Chain A
């Protein structure tokens, strides 16, 4: 099981790097799909089948399809590096390294390995998640729904203006 975790984790990290390094948008989008699927396998290894399947359905199956759809619609080819890409390269890499270091320090100091509960002890089935969502976290859930509704209305208004 551990071997599978390391394979998927490495795959996720490599694919995530590829998302940034690729110059062709379609390849970037495809790499992002690989990241999502690798994460789904990690969820599966944590005994969270429901989360794994939802991860694939929502992110890989719906969100990324829209990305690929838009890239295809614009028929975007290879990107050419512009004036600002040089600046981004020299400034971006140190900033990313600093952020990574920061996150790792916080994780290592705040969450020692003993403090983790074994995954099997948590119930991650659809029933448990549904009850949490509609009892404990019902307010954030509804607020998110309204946020998405507002976004949809905004998209409709923007689309109407075009024609």
Chain B
């Protein structure tokens, strides 16, 4: 029976978790901008931010203060309601999906189990997809509400792009779902523990889905980069053609909200890639109890960091797609490959399970 103290405990723990996760996420986003500028700078043989703090480490803080004190300009012809709504939708949705991401296994504390996850939905993966699929409104409405040419083009491009790549994104993970047989993110990670066994022989390779679904992983990551509007798929905001795309007419804190939403989406997508294909928090665990509890969280963060670094690396390396190339790539290459992957995986699974 759930007594009041149980409910109260759950409430306090959940609120604490939300506070900690939000704090960590916001700090990650702030320093992701610093990391991006630094890494891209070094790729291009520059120094990057160097003046504010040692190695420019206080730059995110300075940027934040700048965003806060800039004048907030609203275009005269803008549709006020939609113009205001758009950044809030984007910001809220970007931070919503982190609620179902499991960071680690959890631990028992005085007889109560505390998991490293705000809430474990049994359709957690679909929840993340639902939230990301709503994210397109933020960009589309920002483009329309600004009542200006460039943002409208940016908004239109992004709507088309996100609809196209959502399909490929969904198809890419179907293989993983067929292997794990659950939609719960925790369940998917738990299915990847231990070592990979081929015909009962231990290969001493980690039992990660990326080894069983290499094509699925490539498709997922390509589609995910397009879904988060990052280089080489950043056509909605292409600076050279659209002056910044959907957020051209936004300034001050509202621009910062779009910015933070984009980086939060990058973090979410990297978290999902880690959970679905790279074994989540699984990794070598050793040492005393405290280390055993927090090492999985460390492995998880390390893998997510790897993906984020890869994002930035791509930005420093690849040129932008042309718009028709982007559409053709999504519909004529990624989608058929995704279908083939589903077909192949189901055939192999049926063959393996047949007596």
Residues of A that sit less than 8 Å from B by CB: 26-27, 30, 33, 49-50, 53-54, 56-57, 60-62, 65-66, 68-69, 71-73, 75, 125-126
26 A-B residue pairs with CB within 8 Å: A26-B144, A27-B81, A30-B82, A30-B141, A50-B126, A53-B123, A53-B129, A53-B130, A54-B126, A56-B133, A56-B134, A57-B129, A57-B130, A60-B133, A61-B133, A62-B133, A62-B163, A65-B136, A65-B137, A68-B141, A68-B159, A69-B140, A71-B144, A72-B140, A72-B152, A125-B122
Question: At the interface, yes or no: B166 with Cβ under 8 Å from chain A?
Answer: yes
Q: Using a CB-CB cutoff of 8 Å, which residues 103-135 of chain B contact chain A?
A: 121-123, 126-127, 129-130, 133-134
Question: Are B121 and A65 closer than 8 Å at their CB atoms?
Answer: no
Question: Are B123 and A49 closer than 8 Å at their CB atoms?
Answer: yes
B159: which of A26, A54, A69, A126 is its contact (CB, 8 Å)? A69
**Chain B residues, Cβ within 8 Å of A125:** 122
Question: Are B123 and A33 closer than 8 Å at their CB atoms?
Answer: no
**CA A71 to CA B144, docked complex, whole Å:** 9
Question: At the interface, yes or no: B25 with Cβ under 8 Å from chain A?
Answer: no
**CA A161 to CA B161, docked complex, whole Å:** 24
Question: Are A72 and B121 closer than 8 Å at their CB atoms?
Answer: no
Q: Give the interface SS of chain B, mostly helix, strand, loop or mixed.
A: helix
Q: A50-B183, A66-B163 are in contact. List 9 more A-B contacts (CB 8 A).
A: A26-B79, A54-B126, A56-B133, A57-B133, A60-B134, A69-B163, A72-B156, A73-B156, A126-B183
Question: Are B155 and A53 closer than 8 Å at their CB atoms?
Answer: no
**Chain A residues, Cβ within 8 Å of B160:** 69
User: With A26-B82, A68-B137, A69-B140 given, is the CB distance from A53 to B159 under 8 Å?
Assistant: no
**Chain A residues, Cβ within 8 Å of B163:** 62, 65-66, 69
Question: Are A75 and B152 closer than 8 Å at their CB atoms?
Answer: yes
**Chain A residues, Cβ within 8 Å of B121:** 49
Question: Are A72 and B159 closer than 8 Å at their CB atoms?
Answer: yes
The 4 closest A-B pairs by CB, nearest first: A61-B133, A56-B130, A53-B126, A69-B159
**CA A20 to CA B163, docked complex, whole Å:** 26
Q: Which of A33, A54, A69, A75 has the most CB of B within 10 A?
A: A69
Question: At the interface, yes or no: B338 with Cβ under 8 Å from chain A?
Answer: no
Question: At the interface, yes or no: B143 with Cβ under 8 Å from chain A?
Answer: yes
Question: Are B126 and A57 closer than 8 Å at their CB atoms?
Answer: yes
